[in-house]
Structures are given as C-alpha cells and as structure tokens.
Amino acid sequence: MVDKNQLRIATRNTGFIDPESVESYIAVGGYQALGKCLAEMKPADVIDLMKNSGLRGRGGAGFPTGVKWGFAAKYASDTKYVVCNADEGDPGAFMDRAVLEGDPHNVLEAMAIGGYAIGGNKGTIYIRAEYPLAIARLKLAIQQAKDMGLLGDNIMGTDFSFDIELKYGAGAFVCGEETALIASMEGNRGEPYTKPPFPAEAGYWDKPTIVNNVETLANIPAIIMKGADWFSGIGTETSKGTKVFCICGKINNVGLIEVPMGTSLKTVIYDVGGGIPDGKEFKAVQTGGPSGGALTYKDLDAPIDYENLVARQSMMGSGGMIVMDEDDCMVAVAKFFLDFTMDETCGKCTPCRIGSKRIYEILDKITIGQGTEADLEKLRSLSHNIKDTALCGLGQTMPNPVLSTMRVFEDEYRAHVIDKKCPAGVCADLLEFTVVEEKCVGCTLCARVCPVNCISGKPKEVHVIDQAACIKCGACLDKCKFDAIIKQ
C-alpha cells in the first residue's frame, strides 16, 4: 500500500467526473456550496468563512483570498467584477488547464460564490487562447449551468444573479499579473500599472474587481461545504490547505500532484515524484516558474509553504516544479529562465526591459567562457537593484533564478569564470573532449563519426582530438565503446 501523500481538494473532481456533464458535477455535490451560501449565509458570512479558512492566492503571491474579497465588498459600486485568472503562463505548469478541462463547473461555482460575497454579478474568465479544449468545456459548462438556473438570473430561485463571460488572452506571460490582465481585458496593451489603487477598489473598467486564480477558486466550494476549521487544519502555520504542483524535468513521475502545504521537498521528489531517473543525483528544483528560484539538496527537508520558499530566494508561484539532476548546469539553467523573462517582459519599466537583457547577456558571456569575476559582482548588484526598482511582480522576481543559483552554486559560477569550465558539462564552449590514452584501443570509430574530421590516429593506436577544430558535438563520446573519450 502506497502512502497517501497527496490530498486532493482543488483537483478533487478532475479525472473522476465527466467535465461535459453538469449532472456529473451535481452528483458529486456540485453547486451545493453556492446553494448553501445563497440560502443560509450572508455575504459577510462568506467572507468571514474565507478569511478564517486561511486560503491564500494560488497564483503565486499568496494574498489571503478572504481579505481580498473583503476589500472589494467594502467599496460601494453598481457593478463589481469577479475575474478568474486562467492565463497560465509558466513553462511546465498546467494545473489550471487540468482543472478547467476536468472540472469546469467547480470554477464557475466558486466565481458565483465570490460574486455573492462581494456584491457583484459579473464574472469574467481570462483564459489563454492556447487552451481550446478548456474554452470549449467552459462554454459548455456556462450554458449548462444557465439552463439549470445555477448561473444567470435569479440563481436557484433567489434574487442573486451572476453571469460569466470568457475573454481570451494571447499568451503574454505578464498578463498573469492582475493589473496587466485587467489592462488586457479592457482591450489595452497587456502591461501592469502601479498599485494602489488595487483592483479590489478600481479594477476592470475602474470597478471593484477581485482577480482569483483557477486553483484558488477550485478550493472554494470545498471550503464552504466542509468549513473553515477543516481547511485551516491542513497545512502549516501560515499556509493552509494544499497546493497543486506540476512536476517535470528529471523526475520519474512527471505529472500533476496536490499535497498539503508543509510537505517536504523530499516527499514530493522521492515519494510522490518517484525520484530521479537513471539513478542520477538530484541537484535542484526550480519552483515558482521562470521567476522563481532553485531549491537544492540543502532544502530537501524544508516544508513547502509560501514563507519558506521566499526565505530560500524562490517562491510558490503557480506551482511549476522543474527538477534538475547532476547533468544540469546551473548557470545555463539561470540563463534559460532569463531568456524566457527577457522575451516576456512587457518593457514598461526600465529595470525589467533593459535589465533582463543585460543579465541575460552577462550570463551568456559566462557560459561561453568570457565571463570575469567582476561579472559575478555585476550580476549580483544588478539583480538586487532590479528586484528593488521594477514595477511589477514579474520584474521584481525576474532575477530570482540568478540570485538563487548563485546562492548555492557559486562554485559552479566561479568554475565558469575562473577555470573556464562547466562542471556539469553543459556549456559547449567550455567543454573539452579528450581521449584517455590508457583506454583507447585505436578502433577508429570516433574518427569516422567526427563531422569535422578533427580526430586523428592510426588504427590500433591512441587517437588524438584537435581541440581547435572540435565543435563539441559529442558524437565521438557517444560512439566510443571503451569509455575512452571523456568530456570535462
């Protein structure tokens, strides 16, 4: 019997019910929470319950959901909006898609509950256009719910009405930032603006607006049904409930998991994730998406929650986890993530627009062996100043991959700039393929596969690689049957 490390709240129905059937959802208790709110609770009660549950935003920032709702409820307005942020943009993260495709009514029900709580009756799901199946199932679900009187006018015979529409994002990473998302929904260029005013005061069309992530919403009907105490009984002191992660990279069980907050990284990697393939050593895991940070073997026993991740120069983010093993170069990894954020910055503020480019350029310099020790200092100082000055969360977290990898793997950085070596053997410009004389039998196989003919040697004699001509393709190493070629 396998340990039940996982607890499925947000993903309780995905994989179990038919997402295209409202009956299937009703059969597992769907819309009961909304019905309960409308029949038995005042909006303020709902907000109190949410506050007491300790649910925090699962989009990454971890702002308490009940508090956010409370703000929006406080501002008087004829119109208020509930926005579902389904603009899942982290590479390797797809928990929102899984929920929307597998349990769309759950999200709709939660949005209606939010609308009831804040006194709003308009909902919008901002979803990326790259999720056609999720869009189709959401559309179907909205129609079904309306047909059954579970959405639309006078829900379940009450005075409460709530409508939901879809808005499509074009796949801009920054549109996951709530103010950029609102700008995009209004038809403007998707870029963030300075808060305050927060959306809860003046958001979509300047009306009070709550923006909640898909996973956050997916928890809500369960919290309503099972109570705040039940939910706050799960997790750690500051982080309640569960968190959905997408584990990918160098891990056996690539996939979606949902574990209680406070679960250790070790449990996630080894027990739930099944460990590292091919018997390789675990090196690090990037959490929090491209602007998160790398956790290492030093962090394996740390319980995962919002505060603990931030303390380790990373963050919860939306829940992507990219696992790396001994064959991954941390400088190259940082460069990979900066390459992403450099392209995705909206370009509004100077530190993010130019700073991301410059960090990338310095990392690039290091990976091709042209870095200096001064560059390491520049990296550090530039990164700190960008975190301090950038406009939105994207810019403020963009240097995280650099800072977190430098924190634990400074040796690796130094090896690149001082020894001009890539210890993990990834950075091609720093590699040298050499023949181990003792092992070479002179079979000539390597010379025959070399695309640039830079390996010479007579049959049965030790071969030699001309370093100047070598393009570091690695074909010789793959071909050698005697382990006589090494890269270092």
Residue from 78, 159, 278, 388 binding another protein (CB under 8 A)? 388
Copy the structure tokens of residue 17: 């019910």
Residues 244-283 that bind another protein (CB under 8 A): 248, 252-258, 271-272
Q: Which is nearer to another protein, 350 or 456 (CB)?
A: 350
Any contact of residue 12 with another protein (CB under 8 A)? yes
Q: Which is nearer to another protein, 353 or 472 (CB)?
A: 353
Q: Which is nearer to another protein, 347 or 459 (CB)?
A: 347
Residues 36-95 that bind another protein (CB under 8 A): 36, 38-39, 94
What long-range pairs does 477-481 form, CB within 8 A, spacing at least 24? 477/433, 479/445, 479/446, 479/449, 480/445, 480/446, 481/443, 481/445
DSSP letter assigned to residue 264 = B
Q: Shortest gap between Cβ of 352 and another protein (angstroms)?
A: 9
What's the gap between Cα 185 and its chain centre?
22
Q: Shortest gap between Cβ of 6 and another protein (angstroms)?
A: 4
Other Cβ atoms closer than 10 A to 91: 15
Residue from 16, 165, 327, 488 binding another protein (CB under 8 A)? 16
Ramachandran area for residue 118 (φ above 0: left; ψ -120 to 50: alpha; else beta): alpha
Q: Which is nearer to another protein, 258 or 412 (CB)?
A: 258
Q: Shortest gap between Cβ of 332 and another protein (angstroms)?
A: 19
Q: What is the DSSP string of 381-427?
A: HHHHHHHHH-SSHHHHHTTHHHHHHHHH-HHHHHIIIII---TTS--
Residues 160-179 that bind another protein (CB under 8 A): 172, 174
CB hemisphere CA count around 56 (13 angstroms)? 22
Q: Which is nearer to another protein, 257 or 406 (CB)?
A: 257
Residues 206-245 that bind another protein (CB under 8 A): 222, 225-226
Residues 342-361 that bind another protein (CB under 8 A): 342-351, 353-358, 361
Residue from 52, 264, 389, 444 binding another protein (CB under 8 A)? 389
Query: CA–CA distance from 446 to each of 328, 435, 466, 478 (Å)?
Result: 25, 10, 13, 9
Q: Shortest gap between Cβ of 353 and another protein (angstroms)?
A: 6
Q: Which is nearer to another protein, 39 or 67 (CB)?
A: 39
Q: Shortest gap between Cβ of 298 and another protein (angstroms)?
A: 24
Beta-carbon contacts of residue 312 (< 8 Å; ≥ 6 apart): 293, 295, 299, 302, 404
Any contact of residue 186 with another protein (CB under 8 A)? no
Q: Shortest gap between Cβ of 213 and another protein (angstroms)?
A: 17
Residue from 140, 148, 443, 449 binding another protein (CB under 8 A)? 148
Residues 304-343 that bind another protein (CB under 8 A): 342-343
Q: What is the DSSP string of 344-360?
A: H--S-SHHHHHHHHHHH
CB hemisphere CA count around 364 (13 angstroms)? 9
Q: Let me know: does 126 contact 184? Beta carbons within 8 Å.
A: yes
What's the gap between Cα 133 and its chain centre?
21
Peptide bond into 423 cis (omega under 30): no
Q: Shortest gap between Cβ of 400 and another protein (angstroms)?
A: 13
Q: Which is nearer to another protein, 233 or 457 (CB)?
A: 233
Q: Shortest gap between Cβ of 19 and another protein (angstroms)?
A: 5
Any contact of residue 9 with another protein (CB under 8 A)? yes
Q: Which is nearer to another protein, 342 or 427 (CB)?
A: 342
d(CA 132, CA 303) in angstroms, rounded, equals 36
Q: Which is nearer to another protein, 12 or 243 (CB)?
A: 12
Any contact of residue 381 with another protein (CB under 8 A)? yes
Beta-carbon contacts of residue 477 (< 8 Å; ≥ 6 apart): 433, 485, 486, 487
Spell out, one character per residue from 93 to 122, where the chain touches another protein: x when CB under 8 A holds, - when not.
-x--xxx-xxx-------------------
Residues 397-426 that bind another protein (CB under 8 A): none
Q: Shortest gap between Cβ of 477 and another protein (angstroms)?
A: 28
Tell me which stretch binds another protein (CB under 8 A): 66-74, 130-138, 410-418, 466-474: 130-138
Give the number of residues in contact with another protein, rule: CB under 8 A: 97
Copy the structure tokens of residue 159: 């005075």
CB hemisphere CA count around 66 (13 angstroms)? 20
Q: Shortest gap between Cβ of 31 and another protein (angstroms)?
A: 6
Beta-carbon contacts of residue 9 (< 8 Å; ≥ 6 apart): 218, 219, 222, 231, 234, 241, 242, 258
Closest CA to 436 of 473, 474, 471, 487: 487
Strand-pair partners of 83: 124, 211
Residue from 109, 177, 178, 191 binding another protein (CB under 8 A)? 191
